[in-house]
Amino acid sequence: MQRAEISVRQNRTHMTKFSDLKLSPKVLKAIDEAGYESPTPIQAGAIPPALEGRDVLGIAQTGTGKTASFTLPMITMLARGRARARMPRSLVLCPTRELAAQVAENFDTYAKNVKLTKALLIGGVSFKEQDMAIDKGVDVLIATPGRLLDHFERGKLILNDVKIMVVDEADRMLDMGFIPDIERIFGLTPFTRQTLFFSATMAPEIERITNTFLSNPERIEVARQATTNKNITQGVLEFKASRKDREGSEKRKVLRALIDAEGDKCTNAIIFCNRKMDVDIVAKSLKKYGYDAAPIHGDLDQSQRTKTLDGFREGTLRFLVASDVAARGLDVPSVSHVYNFDVPSHAEDYVHRIGRTGRAGRDGTAIMICVPRDEKNLADVERLVQHEIPRLENPLGSAKAPAKEAEKPAEDAPKSEKPKRSRSRSRKSDDAPKAKAPEAANQNVADDAGKADKQSSDAPAQAKQEKSDAERHTKRDGAQDGKKDSKRNDTRDNNRSRNDNRGGGRNDNRGGGRGNNDRGGNRVVGLGDHTPEFIELSFAERPDS
């Protein structure tokens, strides 16, 4: 896109009303009923070219209103015409089942006054039902790449009539090794299709794909959330365990202290771990100590994942311990805190993770624990967000001080006693005290490296804190589905954090070297009635395109 055009669109953004966007009246009515007052920047930028039939490259992350930026024009454009059996007229590819389910919900919301058929093809649901839906003919097919190709290979799906293809969260597709699948799917759809392509970042591999498959796209970029969302208070605690083999348990203790230190301000939180194994351990440990916590990652049964997510959204679960993938689909408007138990090994994940809080103009807090071996990752994160993350003091202080009231709770899991945390953070807790760790029982699992994490028995002297199980609140929304993919999925969780060559499958695609897997979960948050300030900002210029 030309610079001049960009500035025109930028100007337009602030004044744009939905009614200026040439959407169909029925879509406008649905928008009105959804209570949206004005389009977000990605919507104002993407909808007009999409309605003109142009390819769109949207650089935006979840929470910016990007789903509506493609669903609204699609509904408008698909209002005319009918689908033939097994030949969907449009295709939306999402990296995870949860995200796909949410996109489907968006279609339901915005297409409620229009007659459009849709089908959701995700793992964990029987092929039969999905076959039946496709057989009838669908206007919109929303799918995870693996499941879509499964259907295709079974001869149940013909993609020759796809007029609009959306790739959502392409960077996440890359992380999950889906790029070969995506390339293959591109190849199965008509050359003349319109492509709407969204990614939070433009990794070289993503750039390559867009150069190959998009035709003179309109490029719209919305500012990165992490760099602009000022309502998220960030902090990192640099922590060194007293002994390597105690790192796990001491880290968990620090986590509890950090939670307690927030007191009632922490109404609910998502706690991110890099490895799903740690997701389980941390959730178990927190539970043991009386915190209302549950894990979510792709190895868990889908019905359990759904139940856990629903509980978190509804506010009956206060702490959600999650892997990146599992939490990506989340649309919980009010998450007060995000804890990064580990520094993410891919810096962009930090942006995604902390973006779970501070939604819809609310305040949010993002706290991270960094052990020495994660320092490089921390530097990467800071480089990405372009600022130094303020250092926190260890709320355990020297770990001796708080002792008194602290010791007891440790033993029998501090149900709901309010810990007296002192905010005396002293930067390090190397001297993590010893204690009979109530955690012991939890540590049945070792580290990814295979080292047993025997922290248990020497769990530090359960310091002072042990704040209450403050009441939680959250909202619900969204839905999950799928199941068997969870295996393939979270396998990636692991793979991803270990090897960096995610998205590896270069061009070997065509043959079908699918990195398959829909992974479990990711999703986004709502803007509510207000558009957060950060969303109003951006539209960075890009000379290229």
Which spans of this chain sit near ligand AMP (rule: CB under 6 A)?
Answer: 36, 39-40, 43, 62-68, 331, 524, 526-527, 531
Using the minimum distance from each CB to ligand AMP, give the nearer residue, 37 or 411. 37
Q: Is 65 left (phi over 0), alpha (psi -120 to 50) or beta?
A: left
Using the minimum distance from each CB to ligand AMP, give the nearer residue, 67 or 201. 67
Using the minimum distance from each CB to ligand AMP, give the nearer residue, 152 or 539. 539
Decide if 331 contacts 304 (C-beta within 8 A): no
**In the complex, least distance from residue 99 CB atom to ligand AMP, rounded to whole angstroms:** 9
User: Residue written as tokens 């969907």?
Assistant: 88
**Alpha-carbon distances, residue 295 vs 271, 318, 327, 498, 524 (angstroms):** 9, 11, 10, 20, 18
18, two tokens: 């939905």
Using the minimum distance from each CB to ligand AMP, give the nearer residue, 162 or 524. 524
**In the complex, least distance from residue 40 CB atom to ligand AMP, rounded to whole angstroms:** 5
**In the complex, least distance from residue 384 CB atom to ligand AMP, rounded to whole angstroms:** 20
Sheet of 293-296, strand order = 232-238, 364-370, 337-340, 269-272, 319-322, 293-296
The DSSP symbol for 12 reads H
Q: Compute the distance between CA of residue 394 and CA of residue 258 in angstroms, rounded to an integer.
A: 8
**In the complex, least distance from residue 43 CB atom to ligand AMP, rounded to whole angstroms:** 6
Using the minimum distance from each CB to ligand AMP, give the nearer residue, 44 or 293. 44
Alpha-carbon torsion angle 33, 83, 129, 510, nearest 10 = -110
**In the complex, least distance from residue 68 CB atom to ligand AMP, rounded to whole angstroms:** 4
Decide if 367 contacts 337 (C-beta within 8 A): yes
**In the complex, least distance from residue 480 CB atom to ligand AMP, rounded to whole angstroms:** 15
**In the complex, least distance from residue 67 CB atom to ligand AMP, rounded to whole angstroms:** 3
**In the complex, least distance from residue 77 CB atom to ligand AMP, rounded to whole angstroms:** 18
Using the minimum distance from each CB to ligand AMP, give the nearer residue, 62 or 456. 62
Decide if 487 contacts 516 (C-beta within 8 A): no
Q: Between vectors from CA 305 to CA 302 and to CA 307, what angle results, nearest 5°?
A: 110
Using the minimum distance from each CB to ligand AMP, give the nearer residue, 65 or 402. 65
**In the complex, least distance from residue 359 CB atom to ligand AMP, rounded to whole angstroms:** 8
Using the minimum distance from each CB to ligand AMP, give the nearer residue, 84 or 475. 475
Using the minimum distance from each CB to ligand AMP, give the nearer residue, 263 or 526. 526
Q: Is 85 left (phi over 0), alpha (psi -120 to 50) or beta?
A: beta
Using the minimum distance from each CB to ligand AMP, give the nearer residue, 83 or 92. 92
**In the complex, least distance from residue 334 CB atom to ligand AMP, rounded to whole angstroms:** 12
Residue 135: CB atoms within 10 Å: 13
Q: Compute the distance between CA of residue 336 and CA of residue 331 in angstroms, rounded to an integer.
A: 13
Q: Compute the distance between CA of residue 17 and CA of residue 39 in angstroms, rounded to an integer.
A: 6
**In the complex, least distance from residue 6 CB atom to ligand AMP, rounded to whole angstroms:** 20
Q: Compute the distance between CA of residue 291 and CA of residue 63 in angstroms, rounded to an integer.
A: 28
**In the complex, least distance from residue 337 CB atom to ligand AMP, rounded to whole angstroms:** 20
**Alpha-carbon distances, residue 194 vs 117, 165, 213 (angstroms):** 19, 6, 10
Q: Compute the distance between CA of residue 437 and CA of residue 411 in angstroms, rounded to an integer.
A: 7
Q: Compute the distance between CA of residue 363 and CA of residue 374 in angstroms, rounded to an integer.
A: 27
Using the minimum distance from each CB to ligand AMP, give the nearer residue, 197 or 289. 197
**Alpha-carbon distances, residue 539 vs 219, 223, 358 (angstroms):** 9, 6, 21
Using the minimum distance from each CB to ligand AMP, give the nearer residue, 45 or 414. 45
**In the complex, least distance from residue 476 CB atom to ligand AMP, rounded to whole angstroms:** 12
Decide if 305 contacts 485 (C-beta within 8 A): no
513-516 contacts at long range (C-beta below 8 A, 24 or more positions apart): 513/180, 514/145, 514/146, 514/149, 514/178, 514/180, 514/181, 514/184, 515/176, 515/177, 515/178, 515/179, 515/180, 515/181, 516/145, 516/146, 516/149, 516/178, 516/181, 516/488
Using the minimum distance from each CB to ligand AMP, give the nearer residue, 361 or 513. 361
User: Residue written as tokens 């740690």?
Assistant: 278
